[in-house]
Amino acid sequence: MGPYLLGLRLSGRRVLVVGGGRVAQRRVPALLEAGAEITVVSPSVTPALDDLIAAGRITWHARPYEVGDCDGAWLVQACTDHRSVNTAVAAEAEAKRVWCVRADDKDSSAAWTPASGRVDEISVAVTAGGDPRRAAGIRDAIVEALRDGTVDARRNRTKPVGVALVGGGPGDPGLITVRGRQLLAQADVVVADRLAPRALLDELTPDVELIDAAKVPYGRALSQETINELLVDRARQGKFVVRLKGGDSFVFGRGGEEMIACAEAGIPVLVVPGLTSAVAVPAAAGVPVTHRGVSQEFHVISVHVAPDDPKSTVDWPALARSQGTLVLMMAVERLAKVAEALVRDGRAPETPVMVVQDGTLPTQRAVTASLSTVADRVSAAGIRPPAIVIVGDVVRVGQEVEMVRAERLP
């Protein structure tokens, strides 16, 4: 017969764990999360359990199991490597009418520990006939489907309200955060930027209102004031609004302006950080923005105006004098002037530069040059925005990695 599944509320209740090895190490965190008062009985414990003991989160009796250890327990976990010990623990628990889980013998176990997962208020537990590997695989599939919206999570009583500012990551739809993807699946309205991961928009259900807030360079653009008004208007209608951007909303994404507009209108705002392209795109191209002995700092600069433009607030001479990595965003159209300013103010003309277009996407490509030649190389290669420019000796680290890989190829 199959088991009767039951959600145990263990807060404040004693749970006995006999054994201090890897199985106990896997079981204890979930029991702690449920609020259980845990006693571990074992001559030794793993370092991870030792940390929990040192923090006072669990009680440890450093000795072998003894009859009477099950007294006062609501649940027992028999997790030792010795079948005879687990049999004795299970027998005592059975005599005292306490549920016991045997890690070594599912057929002799009075209860099974399911493969479990949680997505917000939804808990998932799978037993799969006592087969832990199969149960874990099914659990993972269900949890992932809940997180990415494949299983409809919109029909629930605790639906979010207001506006969520969601950073969509550098472009690859797989690089949005779990929380961001989950909220996207619950949205009534999605206001999406041009650089937001567009593939995710195809997964929205037909009843979701999709508003294109793309700002095309030197082309069609929805003003920031209009975007702010849309967010407030739809939220006031009782709809849950997701503002989906590329990268992170607070890194040259005007997320602060949108948060202020919503706050002034009394609209609750949830911020979900995104993986900024300033770090993710160099990484995708094999370039670390910092590297021991090469660069201890990196600077992220918006080049929406050239260095000689009166509206520029960037201290270009200071950047030229620094030895740190420069990550330039929105710089392709003004790359010649940037390179000229950096060389004029002290950066060596031979400083390596990499320009990466469509970072993290299948169309990603990169051009490597020196500071003195990069503008011509980029123009000849036809590199267009969106692209990230990396200036500094860390580019050579990426090249070294590629050479090592090439040498090891069969």
Could you list the active site residues?
193, 215
How do the residues of the chain divide into helix, strand and coil, expressed in percent and rounded to 5?
A: 35, 20, 45
Q: How many CA atoms lie within 13 Å of 369's alpha carbon, on the beta-carbon side?
A: 20
Joined tokens for residue 246: 């590329």
* Torsion of Cα atoms, 376 then 381 then 385 then 388, to 10°: -70
Joined tokens for residue 298: 């990196």
**CA dist 2 → 125, 135, 142, 241, 358 (Å):** 14, 14, 20, 43, 52
Distance CA 220, CA 293 (A): 45
Distance CA 209, CA 216 (A): 21
CB atoms within 10 A of CB 296: 11
For every residue of 317-338, DSSP letters joined together read: HHHHH--SEEEEES-GGGHHHH
Strands (E) across 67-192 are located at 75-78, 99-102, 115-119, 122-126, 163-167, 189-192
Distance CA 354, CA 102 (A): 57
Distance CA 293, CA 348 (A): 18
CB atoms within 10 A of CB 80: 25
**CA dist 243 → 119, 238, 270 (Å):** 21, 15, 10
Residue with structure tokens 């009843």? 207
Strands (E) across 22-149 are located at 37-41, 59-61, 75-78, 99-102, 115-119, 122-126
Burial of 179 (0-12, 13-18, 19+ CB in 10 A): middle
Q: For the chain, what is the largest distance between any 2 Cα atoms, rounded to a whole number of angstroms?
A: 85
